[in-house]
Every structure is written in structure tokens, then in C-alpha cells.
Amino acid sequence: MKRKSHIPVFQVDAFTTDSRFSGNPAAICLLEKACDAIWMQAVAAEMNLSETAFVWPYEDGFELRWFTPAIEVDLCGHATLATAHILWEQDILNATDIVRFKTRSGWLQVKQSASWIELDFPAQTTVQVDAPAGLLSALGIEQATVYACSPDYLVSVASASQLRALSPDFSRLKEIDMRGVVVTAVADEPGIDFVLRFFGPAAGINEDPVTGSAHCALYPFWQKRLHKSDLIAQQISARGGLLKLRGQGERVFISGKAVTVMSGELYV
């Protein structure tokens, strides 16, 4: 009988609110070397989480790729945070080591800071645009300001209560020619600066629990409007998530917490 290969796999809740079963779950597969992209996509569909990360040693760091159940993506925040968490937790790296990931968005660095994990990501600009046909009606909004921030649209609404009440038509939203739609508003709770929700049916995720990569655009967007250098963001999905943000030049530093929920082996 041919012996099966076993690949270590973990499930991590990232950008949690200090407890398991909050934040955004990601699967992390620890590989010895690169694998076929078709196989990785099939594994991601099997995991059926918003993101599955595949990581293996590369030069003086690691190579990292991210897959939703439907597509490979260029940048993912919560699965990057979760992957670094596993590399430290499994003693593959020391807690004081800075993790370097080679990705489709260039080299990314991650470090630990007290009980938080900080991602060093590229900042993204937003440009106000006319709302594409069907976008606002698919969201159930009559009026809002729309911005392009590739690969997403950013929609600014009047209040956090309006944001909470949204009930999008995902079949119609899937027809919008972007990865996803970020909807955001000023927070209405103390200690939080802004809130958001992220809808990505075109990427196989109707509503993402917490979307770290969206804050590459959200931080400079809100920093200019709130005139603050340090911001706290809350994603008000069913699971909820909390992020700390700061910026420096063309970089955004996104901090969150992570907790391992499951570990096992993937048979191949």
C-alpha cells in the first residue's frame, strides 16, 4: 500500500475580539515546497473558509499564497496574520523574529508587539467615482459616496446604524466587476473610530467576517477625515473583528490578535 503524505494544517481565528469563534477563520497549510495551484485551489474549496493560506520556505523567509473557495487573491490580511501566528506558535520561528513573506503583492513583513501581531502592508489610494450601474440598489442604498480602491469599491454611508441594517442582494452584487465592496461609516461607539462591512460574492464570499487587506485603503481614507494617526476599526459582521491601525509613508500597519482553534493533517 502506498504511504500517504501528511501536511500539517491549522485553523486560526484572526482579528479576534479576545475570544475563540470571533474574527475571521483561516486555514494554514505548512508545505515543504511549492505545490500545484490547481491542487491548492481544490484544498481551499475543501476547507470552505474565506481564505486558505499555503506557506513554504523561500530564501531568507517564506512564500505565501492565499485562496478563497473560488479564486486565488493578491493580498489577504487575516490569513497572513494567522500564518505568522502559526510559525511562532509551532516554534518554526522565535517570537522575536520578524516574518518575511514573498507574495503576489511583494514582500510583506509581520512582527509581534506585546499581545498583538502587526502586518506591514502597502497603502492604497481611493478615487471618488460614479457608482457603477446596480451597485447601490444591490446594497439596498439610495444614496452614498462611492470610491474605487482596486480591487474593491469603497462605499461611504451616513451612519453606523445604516451600515448595520444593510441586507444586500448577493446575486446582483456578484455581477459588479470588482473583487468586493467595502461599506464604511463613522463609528457610534466609544473607543472605535470607524466601522465597516465587506461583501465579496464574486470571490466566493458573500460577507467576509474580517477583511484585513481592505484597511490598506480604509486607513488613509479615514485618517484624512478624522485627522488622527492611530485608528481603531471594527468590522461589524456576525463574528466581529477588531483592528488597530497606524501609517507611515506609503505603508499601513494593521494589528490584530489570533488564536488557534484546530490542528490536524491533510492527506495527499
Catalytic residues: 51
If you search the block for the grid coordinates 490569513, which residue do you land on? 79
**Cα 45 to Cα 69: distance, rounded to the nearest angstrom:** 4
CA distance 187 to 243: 13
- Whether 195 contacts 226, CB under 8 Å: no
Output the DSSP codes for 38-67. Answer: HHHHHHHHHHTSSEEEEEEEETTEEEEEEE
Distance CA 75, CA 103 (A): 8
46 contacts: CB under 8 Å, gap ≥ 6: none
| Cell numbers that stand for 21 in this block | 469563534
Report which residue type is found at 108: L
φ, ψ of residue 8 in degrees (nearest 5): -65, 135
